[in-house]
Structure 1
């Protein structure tokens, strides 16, 4: 089947490549000529393990092409996927400017009845609005199918082929049947709903997972006060099949392109409908506070005087296996530390350049873990990259001015840190354990 995908960002590119991999002829369209030129060379604009190999494979097989010309792309296609960004407005609602622009381009380009498949995360009611928006501008019949994505950055290639379900929402049974046929090659259960239900499934799923994260972080904070160990508590909770172990890893909060945006958007959707969604508001506030947890501990350790202190950040991406720093705790931490007068050095295997683009000369980018730790007064574990998990404990003692490690991702074992003579704190496992004098 001939398919067009508009947008070669995270969702659009992974979707297009995956559809080509299961046998469809796919043309991915983007207005960014440089990005398209790079993609034609199998160079991905996003960091995602495995994506470039699939791009090259399907280009060579003749199933995948890239273009800036939407009108030419849709000539032989009656199915168009819409996967453009819906960034967050200041009030938390979704900005539909780009999706409306793409919808206008669809109306002006198509030359036959078309099914528009919306992959973009949009507020409830948007798909129905888009159908009217496009239909009013073209003589051809428009059908809309909501097909929300559930991809996790860093493992998106795995998720697209091994997902739990594919959600298809529409009021048009024929369009639903067409999309069911398109997706049969994934061999993943297909769940068919109405338009509004499909839109809500996306927001509700991400908001629920964000709630689990904020909940376990709040439990971790209580554990510190009562003497529990959050790792043991999480493990014990996760053994209950009603709860499950996923998203029960305590830390310094959630980030990225989905959870922060989708929780705020869902809260705004609730407000617009006249409902006061107190639970999701608490989730959002708890996450904001948790992102500064390590800074709070560090301030307490140094009696609130961080001026001139050399602080090393181990990892800045919001999670491992991605270069994404959107809504990452690291950015919040760096801003606060700079405001306190600290000197910041960061290390991240792929995301450091993105953070440097935000802060410029205010921060130092280290090329190695040894460099970032050298003469540091404290090291903050922010992202649990494998390279960081594998740090030999003697590196902290030999490189740092003061071997003080604040672990925001529970990477290290507190008993081993104690044996190594390293002052150590990890979220939800107790107070900062000191193993040497503090030099102010």
Structure 2
């Protein structure tokens, strides 16, 4: 298709990926953000997100003249074909999504949009937002389309350019098809539906994944008590095509920028519509329990008291492959440990030494994190932790105890180094 003129409001994780990838697909893209320093850095192709290929695509878009960055609202919107909203929708006090950034953008742009422009909501928004935005615009010559994102951190560029599906929702089918055409060349299955259904797809997907993770975390706890092995149990589950292989890895809980926010938002929507959703509520409660359970395992591993005890923490981000610390279960566990008096020294490949993520003092190597520790706790599934020289690590610690909350480490190798290994979903044999 012919190149289109696109304005993307917001240069965060979703907005920047959207802008850079649409430029890669040949469109003319202006990406706007309220942070002048961020815009200045991006205009020089300086990308601070740990996201494979993103910096490369930003540099390419700038070099080819298909991508530019501006502060605030673009000065000229008169020739824009599509206005994408990719602004934050954080959790409000009630648990519902806070749409103030969406409303602010629309208030500042609605009178400047050309007739025939399509406003595309990329931000994750509650059911009914597209219709609300349509009324707020008071522009019958401008249509609004829901086009939720399904970008995994650490795989965002790949997910945008080679998506599993594209979902577009609007009460105006012609506008929905116009948005779908922007993705020409990605060869993904498409779902064209109404706006409410499109909005709900995003929440339904993320909340299902959260429930699946809570399920496997509880299953891991059951394995520990029953003398079963979570690896063998999930291997048997993964082979069932009805269940699928993904999201069956136990951990210290789920977190990040999406799952905590989206579960609360969908539960809030359900409450407003008087729909009881006990499964989702239980998934959230289970996640809170999981963080406390992990802290309890660490307490037991060091003898029952954490007061003044030095703990080495491996992994701080909410998952491997990203530098995102938002709602990280690793930090949630760390907060509980610190509240009981533990002294925490941590290492993460994507968190620089000297950073202050909560109560953890960050150092630049796993060995330094382990130095004089009464226990090492693995909280993020970075592959390099499994590849560590655990004999060398044993020479750093005060007491050779490892609590592997990700079931990541090679058990025989760690035990051979002299450690007592307490792994998630495995019975504690005491060796």
TM range (shorter): over 0.9
CA distance in 2, matches of 1:72, 1:389: 51
The alpha-carbon deviation at position 59 of structure 1 amounts to 1.0
Structure 1 residues 314, 358: CA separation in 2 closer, same or farther (over 3 Å shift)? closer
Cα deviation, residue 51, structure 1? 0.6
Q: Partner residue of 1:438?
A: none
Structure in which a larger fraction of residues adopt helix: 1
Partner of 1:64: 67
Structure 1 residue corresponding to 2:116, chosen from 113, 116, 119:
113
> What pairs up with 1:130-145 in 2 under 5 angstroms?
130-135=133-138, 141-145=141-145
SS in 1 for 2:207: helix
Match of 1:369 among 360, 366, 370: 366
Q: Within 5 A, what are the aligned runs for 1:23-38?
A: 23-38=26-41
Deviations 1:116-140 (A, max 9, x none): 00000000001100111012xx5x6
Aligned to 1:16: 19
- Residue 405 of structure 2 is matched in structure 1 by 408
Q: 1:128 aligns with which of 107, 126, 131?
A: 131
Q: Which secondary structure does the structure 1 equivalent of 2:91 belong to?
A: coil
**How many aligned positions are there?**
428
Kept after mapping to 2: 8 A contact 1:322/1:351? no
Partner residue in 1 for 2:302: 302
Q: Deviations over 1:3-35 (max 9, x none)?
A: 111000111110111111111111101121111
Following TM superposition, by how much is the alpha carbon of 1:301 offset from its aligned partner in structure 2, in angstroms?
A: 2.8
TM-score (ref. length: structure 1): 0.94
Deviation of 1:389 (Å): 2.3
CA distance in structure 2 between the partners assigned to 1:178 and 1:406 by the alignment: 52
Range with greater deviation from structure 2 (79-88 or 382-391): 382-391
Counterpart residue number, 2:264: 264
Partner residue, 1:3 = 6
Partner residue, 1:167: 167
Contact 1:32 1:68 in 2 (8 A): yes
Residues 73/236 of structure 1: CA separation in 2 closer, same or farther (3 Å cut): farther
Q: How far does the alpha carbon of each residue in 1:128-183 deviate from its partner, in whole angstroms, 9 at most, with x for none?
A: 00111012xx5x61201100000000111111112110000001122112112212
Q: Does 1:434 align with 2:424?
A: no
1:289, CA displacement in angstroms? 1.2
Q: Secondary structure at the match of 1:76?
A: coil
Corresponding residue SS for 2:254:
coil
Q: 1:179-215 deviations in whole A, cap 9, x for unaligned?
A: 1221213221221000000011000000111111111
Cα deviation for residue 73 of structure 1 reads 4.2
Q: Is the 8 A contact 2:301 2:401 kept in 1?
A: no
1:273-298 deviation per Cα after TM superposition (whole angstroms, max 9, x unaligned): 00121000000011111123321112
Mapping of 1:289-368 within 5 angstroms? 289-352=289-352, 356-359=355-358, 362-368=359-365
Give the aligned partner of residue 396 of structure 1: 393
Post-superposition offset of 1:367: 1.1
Would you say 1:210 and 2:210 are equivalent positions? yes
Question: Could you list the per-position Cα deviations for residues 79-136 of structure 1 after superposition, in whole angstroms to 9, with x for gaps in the alignment?
Answer: 110000000013211011111101112213324332100000000001100111012x
- Which has the larger displacement, 38-47 or 76-85? 38-47
Question: Do the aligned partners of 1:17 and 1:64 also contact (CA within 8 Å) in 2?
Answer: yes
2:144 match: secondary structure: strand
Alignment of 1:147-226 (within 5 A): 147-226=147-226
How far apart in 2 are the matches of 1:404 and 1:301?
A: 7
Q: Deviations over 1:380-427 (max 9, x none)?
A: 001111322211111231111111100011111323332322111111
Alignment gaps of 5+ in structure 1: 436-440
The answer on whether the counterparts of 2:302 and 2:374 sit within 8 Å (CA) in structure 1 is no
